[in-house]
């Protein structure tokens, strides 16, 4: 019996060693995107983008002599579940990096977990700013790379005087609209010329809200809607605009969450002529973008599938992470985090993206007009790239803050007047 027990113990020990050895043979890439629920319309594509990038990297030989292994979970558009799944990826699956989240509420749910466990996450979607974590790299747009340029375009090129700030009811639209409200008022817009409205995720009955927008825009002043409406609520919103006879000529809508993926497979008729602000559009002509689009269609096995801005942000972030791992000679979080700063990688639209000290990218900004084929025609763009701001210049509590994760500051919210950091310090 003693020999039998000893044999079992030896076998168990061997299996543990074997499992550990097998785990050490791959670099694990966590994928934390909703594959079900209201945000699946947007996030499933990002899961597939990461899988494509893992496959491509493995064709190149992997990293540090190891193959990459994707670990996919489904947080199901359930914000607390994002935190649980992030903890599972780091503690149980032992992933080396996470690519994930879409909404800011999901990112905010994950943030304390990855900071507690010292994980590493790349966040690929436009967001409200007002954040910089050692454990997150923000490859989507901050407000000065999307919202502010969009308002500038509407104000200067379309001579808009009245503003509807319409959003889904969570942190990204609310914070972005606070910034925009302050920015508009600083540009001489009266409070009575700003209408703010929020609706829950998945909102479908837009009749009364669109009626209010129509009435607000009937005073003789040029009116526009700045939309931070997220997910599948966009479809009935635009349909109701058309139902009530509101065209893009009457009241143009500029959206921050409507891209090629959201437009695919729906009737684009009600959206034609309306606008979106992004850092990437599939229709932009460049050799790198043409290759990326074809690579995506081949991987997904569907010539009709489209690319979009968060996909490019994922692509850039993934390639930067790979370069940082090679530079650091390790997947260890602290080493990769420092190696990431200053890394450059070509944008698909031309020019070069750079990861700055505040963990935000320098990116170009484009305004696109929706076409009947679900693509965008660029009507405006910045002259070169715009560095992303972690903290807004238009909020009283933020204008004195900077983020700098290099020595000697190494802080996400350093107050330049007080010369002190009040948040997470490396």
At 424, the pLDDT band (50, 70, 90 cuts) reads: low
Instruction: Over range 404-420, report the average pLDDT.
Output: 95
Together in a domain, 8 and 131: yes
In a domain, 423, yes or no: no
Compute and round to an integer the Cα radius of gyration of the chain: 23
At 191, the pLDDT band (50, 70, 90 cuts) reads: very high
Together in a domain, 166 and 41: no
What pLDDT, on a 0 to 100 scale, did the predictor assign at position 231? Answer: 81
Residue 5: is its pLDDT beyond 70? no
Together in a domain, 355 and 372: no
Residue range(s) defining the domain that contains residue 266: 144-285+366-387
Together in a domain, 150 and 270: yes
* Model confidence pLDDT, tens digit, residues 206-233: 999 999 999 999 999 999 999 999 888 9
Together in a domain, 232 and 179: yes
Together in a domain, 316 and 175: no
Return d(Cα 92, Cα 26) in angstroms, integer: 15
In a domain, 124, yes or no: yes
In a domain, 406, yes or no: no
At 423, the pLDDT band (50, 70, 90 cuts) reads: low
Together in a domain, 259 and 281: yes
* Model confidence pLDDT, tens digit, residues 362-390: 999 999 999 999 999 999 999 999 999 99
Select from 346, 362, 378 the last residue of a domain.
Answer: 362
What pLDDT, on a 0 to 100 scale, did the predictor assign at position 24? Answer: 66
In a domain, 50, yes or no: yes
What pLDDT, on a 0 to 100 scale, did the predictor assign at position 134? Answer: 97
Together in a domain, 114 and 171: no
Q: 169: domain CATH number?
A: 3.40.50.2300
Among 21-35, 141-155, 170-184, 330-344, the least confident range? 21-35
Among 140-154, 165-179, 185-199, 257-271, the least confident range? 257-271
At 425, the pLDDT band (50, 70, 90 cuts) reads: low
HEC string of the chain equals CHHHHHHHHHHHHHHHHHHHHHHHCEEEEEEECCCCCCCHHHHHHHHHHHHHHHHHHHHCCCECCEEEEEEEECCCCCHHHHHHHHHHHHHHCCCCEEEECCCHHHHHHHHHHHHHHCCCEEECCCCCCCCCCCCEEECCCCHHHCHHHHHHHHHHCCCCCEEEEEEECCHHHHHHHHHHHHHHHHCCCCHHHEEEEEECCCCCCCHHHHHHHHHHCCCCCCEEEEEECCHHHHHHHHHHHHHCCCCCCCCCEEECCCCHHHHCCCCCHHHCCCEEEECCCCCCCCHHHHHHHHHHHHHHCCCCCCCCHHHHHHHHHHHHHHHHHHHHCCCCHHHHHHHHCCCEEECCCCCEEEECCCCEEEECCEEEEECCCCCEEEEEECCCCEECCCCCCCCCCCCCEEEECCCCCCEEEEECCCCEECCCEC
At 267, the pLDDT band (50, 70, 90 cuts) reads: confident
Among 10-19, 115-124, 298-307, 408-417, the least confident range? 10-19
Together in a domain, 230 and 279: yes
In a domain, 413, yes or no: no
* Model confidence pLDDT, tens digit, residues 397-411: 899 999 999 999 999
At 354, the pLDDT band (50, 70, 90 cuts) reads: very high
What pLDDT, on a 0 to 100 scale, did the predictor assign at position 22? Answer: 47
Task: Give the number of domains in the chain.
Answer: 2
In a domain, 307, yes or no: yes
Instruction: Over range 254-283, report the average pLDDT.
Output: 92
What pLDDT, on a 0 to 100 scale, did the predictor assign at position 266? Answer: 79
Among 10-14, 39-43, 296-300, 345-349, the least confident range? 10-14
What pLDDT, on a 0 to 100 scale, did the predictor assign at position 399? Answer: 92
Together in a domain, 216 and 311: no
In a domain, 403, yes or no: no
Mean per-residue pLDDT of the chain:
93
Together in a domain, 104 and 162: no
Together in a domain, 77 and 116: yes
**What phi, psi does 43 have (nearest 5°)?**
-85, -25
In a domain, 84, yes or no: yes
Return d(Cα 415, Cα 363) in angstroms, integer: 25
Residue 320: is its pLDDT beyond 80? yes
For a pLDDT cut of 90, what percent of the chain falls above it?
Answer: 87
Instruction: Over range 336-354, report the average pLDDT.
Output: 97
């Amino acid at each position: 019996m003693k020999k039998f027990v000893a044999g079992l113990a030896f076998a168990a020990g061997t299996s543990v060693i074997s499992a550990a050895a097998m785990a050490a043979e791959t670099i694990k890439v966590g994928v934390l995107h909703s594959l079900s629920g209201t945000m699946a319309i947007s996030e499933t594509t990002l899961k597939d983008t990461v899988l494509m990038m893992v496959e491509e990297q493995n064709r190149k030989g992997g990293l540090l002599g190891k193959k990459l292994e994707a670990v996919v979970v489904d947080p199901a558009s359930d914000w607390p579940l994002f935190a649980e799944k992030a903890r599972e990826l780091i503690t149980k699956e032992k992933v080396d990096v996470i690519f994930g989240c879409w909404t800011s509420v999901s990112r905010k749910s994950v943030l304390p977990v990855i900071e507690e466990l010292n994980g590493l996450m790349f966040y690929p979607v436009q967001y409200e700013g007002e954040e910089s974590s050692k454990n997150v790299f923000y490859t989507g747009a901050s407000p000065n790379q999307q919202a502010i340029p969009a308002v500038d375009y509407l104000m200067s090129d379309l001579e808009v005087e009245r503003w509807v700030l319409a959003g889904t009811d969570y942190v990204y639209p609310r914070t972005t609209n606070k910034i925009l409200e302050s920015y508009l008022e600083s540009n001489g817009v009266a409070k009575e010329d700003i209408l703010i409205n929020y609706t829950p995720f998945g909102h479908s009955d837009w009749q009364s809200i669109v009626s209010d927008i129509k009435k607000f825009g009937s005073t003789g002043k040029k009116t526009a809607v700045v939309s931070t409406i997220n997910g599948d609520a966009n479809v009935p919103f635009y349909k109701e605009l058309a139902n009530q006879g509101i065209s893009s000529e009457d009241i143009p809508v500029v959206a921050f969450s409507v891209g090629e993926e959201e437009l695919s497979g729906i009737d684009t008729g009600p959206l034609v002529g309306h606008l979106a602000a992004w850092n990437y559009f599939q229709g932009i002509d460049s050799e790198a973008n043409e290759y990326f689009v074809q690579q995506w269609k081949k991987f997904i096995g569907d010539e009709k599938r489209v690319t979009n801005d968060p996909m490019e942000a994922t692509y850039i972030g993934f390639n930067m992470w790979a370069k940082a791992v090679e530079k650091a000679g390790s997947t260890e979080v602290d080493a990769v985090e420092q190696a990431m700063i200053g890394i450059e990688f070509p944008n698909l639209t031309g020019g070069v993206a750079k990861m700055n000290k505040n963990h935000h990218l320098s990116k170009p900004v484009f305004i696109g007009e929706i076409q009947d084929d679900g693509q965008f025609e660029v009507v405006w763009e910045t002259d070169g790239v715009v560095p992303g701001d972690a903290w807004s210049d238009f909020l009283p509590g933020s204008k004195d803050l900077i983020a700098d994760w290099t020595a000697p500051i190494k802080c996400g919210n350093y107050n330049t007047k007080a010369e002190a950091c009040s948040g997470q310090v490396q």
